[in-house]
Amino acid sequence: MDRLAKKYHQKIVPKLQQELGLKNPLAVPRINKITVNIGIGDISSDKKAIDRAVFTLTQITGQKPALQLARKAIADFKIRRNDVVGLKVTLRKQRMYQFLDKLITIVLPRVRDFSGVKRDAFDQHGNYTLGLREQVIFSEVDYDKIDKVRGLEINITTSTNNKNQALRLLELLGMPLAKEKNG
């Protein structure tokens, strides 16, 4: 079992169960999946650039991404229907915990002028979205092998619809959250 998964099951579940007053440990909020997306609409015609982006995302996540196709044509952006506009990887179970552990302990501390991730990046369903400006902060990415610095979006899907419970879950998992602003 992965280090972060073990921490969740042995330490976080009992703590959250007590804090939230839950009798059933299965009712404790958990992370269901992590989705990593890269938009590549500007290189949809360049097959080699798409292959390099696929390779980079595979290196980062340990899983081959699915191609995201345009649903309709947009003439202003020179996008035709079924052009590749992005890449998406959905991580679950062991890979999800490994990726989150790497993100928290290695990747985020490498971000320049990092003072924590936003506390208010939750949607109405308790899911957290984190945007990174460049993929080169991941140690697996070889700077010489990328064609362009690209941003990526990381979505952490939780089992709770309560933003405060989801925030507490991420806090206990070790997510480096920004300090609260004093009104």
Contact present, 16 and 172 (Cβ < 8 Å): yes
Structural domain total, the chain: 1
Residue 7 lies in a domain: yes
Could you tell me if residue 141 is inside a domain?
A: yes
Which residue range forms the structural domain that includes residue 82? 3-173
Q: What is the reported pLDDT for 11?
A: 85
Cross-strand bridge partners of residue 130: 154
User: What are the residue ranges in the chain where pLDDT is below 50?
Assistant: 182-183
Does 144 map to a domain? yes
In the prediction, which pLDDT does 141 show? 67
**Any domain includes 178:** no
pTM: 0.80
Q: Is residue 180 part of a domain?
A: no
The pLDDT assigned to 45 comes to 61
**Are 129 and 37 a contacting pair, CB within 8 Å?**
no
Percent of the chain whose predicted confidence (pLDDT) is above 70: 79
How does pLDDT run across 7-38, given as a tens digit for each residue? 888 888 888 888 888 888 888 888 889 898 88
**DSSP SS3 for 132:** strand
Q: List the CATH number of the domain containing 60.
A: 3.30.1440.10
Burial class from Cβ neighbours inside 10 Å (0-12, 13-18, 19+) for residue 154 reads buried
How confident is the model at residue 151, as a pLDDT?
77
User: Which of 34, 49, 33, 46 lies closest to 150, judged by CA?
Assistant: 49
**pLDDT, position 183:** 44
179 part of a folded domain: no
Q: What is the pLDDT of residue 77?
A: 65
Taking the CA atoms of residue 53, residue 59, residue 65 and residue 70 in that order, the dihedral angle to the nearest 10 degrees is: -20
